[in-house]
Amino acid sequence: MEFGMSQTVDARHEPGPVAFIIFGGAGDLTWRKLIPSLFTLHLNRSLPDKFAIIGVDRAALSDETLRKRLHEGVRRFSNLGSTKAADWKTFAAHISYQRGDFAAAKTYAVLARRLAALDEAWNAKSVRIFHLATPPSLIGVISKSLSAAGLARERQRARIVVEKPIGSDLESARRLNRTLTKYFHESQVFRIDHYLGKETVQNILAFRFANPMFEPVWNRRYVNYVTITVAEEVGVGHRGKYYEQAGELRDMMQNHLMQLVCLVAMEPPVSFSADEIRGKKVAVLHALRPFSHDEVQASTVRGQYGRGTIQGKRVRGYREEQDVAPDSHTETYVALQLFVDNWRWQDVPFYLRAGKRMPRQLTEIVIHFRPVPHRLFPSDAVPDWQPTRVIMSIQPDEGIVLRCYAKQPGSPMRLRQVDMRFSYREAFKTPSPPAYATLLQDVMVNDATLFMRNDQVEAAWAALMPVIDAWSATPAGDISNYAAGTDGPESAKQLIERAGHAWSPIA
Ligand code: BG6
């Protein structure tokens, strides 16, 4: 199956032999995301002939039991539909397992020998991708041990991939970045934010900078305000332990939503190089207006879902979820008002909201334009003026809508809003590749454009630290303030409505 990826092996240089070493090889991320994505790349002929996947973990597993479990993951989580048994068998032959303690030097000595044996068999110096599908607390020990075993040394072929969250605040993110760059050069480090691998997220740059007519109006003169919504139907599921420590601000806002703000607000890059694009994104984060203590109260909302109904099914409240404290104050919903203090965006509010257990999944960016300067139409032609909008739908209906006025047929003169619609499904007739497939392929060909640089991670934390500090100083009394299946707390509506603005409906 072809996926119409932006950059397949044909379009870029053919990668040489590559070994993927997955720490946490028996874990959840590996079977839900990493292996289904690598299998997609395999079917798409984007992996080189010579590749190996080594899962490293503590569980006692054989190669065969690991492969079986991973096959089950592909069946459940891949968007490939049914695949041929023969294809899986060919792919699975490249997977092996190494049992090992992440803190023991022996694990890395054995790994180094295995990797050397692969190089010998392939008669090549392979690229080695160390993917840490582990809790962040293990990043230090794994990177240090890889370095001690001599596996981090060669910059051109040793790469380390780490997952978010990078730290839990500015200080811990700095520490983590210092640790990583003590053992690996920054150019070897790939920090994943899987939103950047989504086609629709990458398309923000294409839409803005490959068409001449949007950029001239993409500024404070024409844009009234911007809303960014990341609504999820799912709750925290079995991730209560992690989520209790994180909350929605750290889990979604600090990374995924901040990335979206950067892509919407950044200045045009002069080239498509990784550092140029990342530099322009960091500039947005540096321009975010710092929250004062009072502004945190006025410009932020936190919430937590209680019991409710989603798609006709009763669901539990957050405090009843597995591994969640019955009196937990962790937020499962966040709304913020931000300003980007620069020439382009001065005083244009950016409203961001992210929440779990919303009525349905919806990720969407809406640019709300200012009204026309003069309404020449008779007043009854448009009973209720609505802003003209560009709606970028990231998921699930991938596409872009331009919502604008058109004349209704007949007389008298009446205007109505209509949608000019671009749909990925209709335009490309091919499923989008999974975000992880795009990202893993980019690591393979050493393209860091879609990964977070250390300064960007830190700038995103720095922007949110006043919120983190103010929230921890004053725990919210009434945090359990929206029922599952509704579109968030009342106070989030007030946040936006006091300026005469509005969220778009989620349901
Ligand atoms: C992850 C968060 O990064 O993104 C999860 O940790 C969240 O809590 C997920 O559910 C959402 O990703 P997507 O691709 O389904 O929008």
Q: Is the pLDDT of residue 3 over 70?
A: no
pLDDT one-digit tens code per residue, 54-82: 999 999 999 999 999 999 999 999 877 77
Binned at pLDDT 50, 70 and 90, residue 5 comes out as: very low
User: Does any ligand 1 atom lie closer than 6 A to the CB of residue 232?
Assistant: yes
Q: In this structure, which residue's CA is closest to atom 9 in ligand 1?
A: 252
Residue from 77, 199, 232, 332 to probe ligand 1 pocket by mutation (most atoms less than 8 Å from CB)? 232
* Statement to judge: residues 203 and 186 lie in one domain: no
Instruction: Assign 150 to helix, strand or coil.
Output: coil
**459 lies in some domain:** no
* Statement to judge: residues 206 and 337 lie in one domain: yes
What's the CATH number where 368 sits? 3.30.360.10
Total residue count of the chain as it appears in this document = 507
Instruction: Assign 222 to helix, strand or coil.
Output: coil
Binned at pLDDT 50, 70 and 90, residue 4 comes out as: very low
Q: At residue 450, what are phi and psi to the nearest 5 degrees?
A: -95, 20
Domain boundary among 192, 207, 240: 192
* Statement to judge: residues 285 and 408 lie in one domain: yes
* Statement to judge: residues 224 and 179 lie in one domain: no
* Statement to judge: residues 314 and 400 lie in one domain: yes
Q: What is the CA radius of gyration of the chain?
A: 24
pLDDT of 7 reads 37
Domain boundary among 168, 192, 216: 192
Q: Please give the Cα distance from 388 to 386 (Å, whole number).
A: 7
Q: Please give the Cα distance from 260 to 365 (Å, whole number).
A: 8
Sequence-ordered list of residues with C-beta below 8 angstroms from that of 267, at least 6 positions apart, any chain = 280, 283, 344
Q: Please give the Cα distance from 381 to 60 (Å, whole number).
A: 72
| Dihedral, 63, 66, 71, 73 alpha carbons, nearest 10 | -160
Higher-confidence residue of 189 and 6: namely 189
Domain count, the chain: 2
Mean pLDDT value across residues 199-210: 96
* Whole-number average pLDDT of the chain: 94
Q: In this structure, which residue's CA is closest to atom 2 in ligand 1?
A: 251
HSE value, Cβ hemisphere, 13 Å, CA-based, for 433: 30
Domain boundary among 170, 192, 214: 192
**108 lies in some domain:** yes
pLDDT one-digit tens code per residue, 290-311: 999 889 999 999 999 999 999 9
Q: Is the pLDDT of residue 457 over 90?
A: yes
Q: In this structure, which residue's CA is closest to atom 6 in ligand 1?
A: 251
Residue from 77, 164, 166, 194 to probe ligand 1 pocket by mutation (most atoms less than 8 Å from CB)? 194
User: How many CB atoms are closer than 10 A to CB 390?
Assistant: 22
The answer to whether residues 114 and 54 touch, using CB atoms and an 8 Å cutoff, is: yes
* Statement to judge: residues 370 and 289 lie in one domain: yes
pLDDT of 431 reads 83
Phi-psi region of 474 (alpha: psi -120 to 50; beta: other; left: phi over 0): beta
pLDDT one-digit tens code per residue, 315-350: 999 999 999 999 999 999 999 999 999 999 999 999
Instruction: Assign 400 to helix, strand or coil.
Output: strand
Residue from 29, 166, 256 to probe ligand 1 pocket by mutation (most atoms less than 8 Å from CB)? 256
pLDDT one-digit tens code per residue, 113-166: 999 999 999 999 999 999 999 988 899 999 999 999 999 999 999 999 999 989
**447 lies in some domain:** no
pLDDT of 153 reads 93
Mean pLDDT value across residues 287-291: 96
Q: Is the pLDDT of residue 2 over 50?
A: no
Question: Could you tell me the maximum CA-CA distance found in the chain, to the nearest angstrom?
Answer: 83
pLDDT of 440 reads 97
Token pair of 214, please?
A: 């949007």
Token pair of 211, please?
A: 């068409």
Cα 234 to middle of ligand 1, angstroms: 9
- Give the predicted TM-score (pTM) of the model: 0.93
Q: Please give the Cα distance from 429 to 423 (Å, whole number).
A: 10
Token pair of 120, please?
A: 């010998």
**460 lies in some domain:** no
Q: Is the pLDDT of residue 191 over 80?
A: yes
Nearest ligand 1 atom, CA 435 = 14
Catalytic status, residue 256? yes
Q: Could you tell me which of 256, 261, 258, 199 has the C-alpha nearest to residue 226?
A: 261
In single-letter form, the type of residue at position 323 comes to D
pLDDT of 459 reads 98
pLDDT of 1 reads 34
Which run of H or E residues covers position 246?
A: helix 240-248
Nearest ligand 1 atom, CA 239 = 8
User: Does any ligand 1 atom lie closer than 6 A to the CB of residue 331?
Assistant: no
Token pair of 133, please?
A: 């599908």
Q: At residue 319, what are phi and psi to the nearest 5 degrees?
A: -70, -10
User: How many CB atoms are closer than 10 A to CB 186?
Assistant: 12
Residue from 199, 234, 251 to probe ligand 1 pocket by mutation (most atoms less than 8 Å from CB)? 251
* Statement to judge: residues 247 and 140 lie in one domain: no
Mean pLDDT value across residues 358-370: 98
Q: Is the pLDDT of residue 289 over 90?
A: yes
Q: Please give the Cα distance from 73 to 319 (Å, whole number).
A: 29
Domain that residue 126 falls in? 4-192
User: What string of DSSP letters covers 113-126?
Assistant: HHHHHHHHHHTS--
* Statement to judge: residues 232 and 181 lie in one domain: no
Q: Please give the Cα distance from 256 to 68 (Å, whole number).
A: 32
* Statement to judge: residues 207 and 188 lie in one domain: no
* Statement to judge: residues 340 and 211 lie in one domain: yes
**388 lies in some domain:** yes
Mean pLDDT value across residues 356-365: 98
- DSSP H helices, 266-402, are 274-287, 293-299
Residue 411: Cβ-neighbour burial (10 angstroms; 0-12, 13-18, 19+): exposed
pLDDT one-digit tens code per residue, 7-43: 333 344 567 999 999 999 999 999 999 999 999 999 9
pLDDT of 346 reads 98
Cα 252 to middle of ligand 1, angstroms: 7
* Statement to judge: residues 156 and 278 lie in one domain: no
pLDDT of 13 reads 55
**443 lies in some domain:** no
User: How many CB atoms are closer than 10 A to CB 274?
Assistant: 17
Q: In this structure, which residue's CA is closest to atom 14 in ligand 1?
A: 195
Among positive and negative, which fits the CA dihedral 11, 12, 17, 21? negative
**212 lies in some domain:** yes
User: Does any ligand 1 atom lie closer than 6 A to the CB of residue 251?
Assistant: yes
Mean pLDDT value across residues 418-434: 92
Cα 373 to middle of ligand 1, angstroms: 41
**389 lies in some domain:** yes
Tokens 């929440």, residue?
355
pLDDT of 14 reads 65
Q: In this structure, which residue's CA is closest to atom 13 in ligand 1?
A: 195
Q: Which of 256, 329, 374, 501 is catalytic?
A: 256
pLDDT of 25 reads 97
The answer to whether residues 23 and 133 touch, using CB atoms and an 8 Å cutoff, is: yes
User: Does any ligand 1 atom lie closer than 6 A to the CB of residue 398?
Assistant: no
pLDDT one-digit tens code per residue, 464-500: 999 999 999 987 778 989 999 999 999 999 999 999 9
Nearest ligand 1 atom, CA 164 = 3
What's the CATH number where 124 sits? 3.40.50.720
Q: At residue 400, what are phi and psi to the nearest 5 degrees?
A: -135, 140
Sequence-ordered list of residues with C-beta below 8 angstroms from that of 65, at least 6 positions apart, any chain = none
* Statement to judge: residues 246 and 176 lie in one domain: no
